[in-house]
Amino acid sequence: MRLATASIGCLLGAVLLLVARGADNWSRAFAVGWYGLFGAAVALALAALVAAALSRGPGLKRRLTIIGLSLPALLAVPVLLWAIVTLAPLAD
């Protein structure tokens, strides 16, 4: 559950950075930080899914909660990348 919660936190951080900065004029340091947070969210979500699948201890309800918390980061990959690719040319 901790991995899934950390994944949500990283994803929210990446989204807030994107909202605050926008999709254009990224400095190198900002891009490294944003992609780092986004990559960490995805990696943590994948780790949470593997842990939920391999774990025998938690019940079905807890496993479903872990899966539910992991999915936003995995579903955000195509959505946020689409938003950056689509909105960046419109900023010019």
Q: Could you report the per-residue pLDDT of 10-38, keeping only the tens digit for each?
A: 999 988 988 888 767 788 998 899 889 98
Contacts of 26 (CB under 8 A, 6+ apart): 34
Residue 92's pLDDT is: 60
Q: What is the pTM for the complete model shown?
A: 0.79
Residue 30 CA: distances (Å) to CA of 17, 25, 26, 37: 9, 10, 6, 11
Q: Quick: pLDDT tens for 25-78.
A: 788 998 899 889 989 999 999 999 998 888 877 788 888 888 899 999 899 888
Alpha-carbon distance of 75 to 92, in angstroms, equals 28
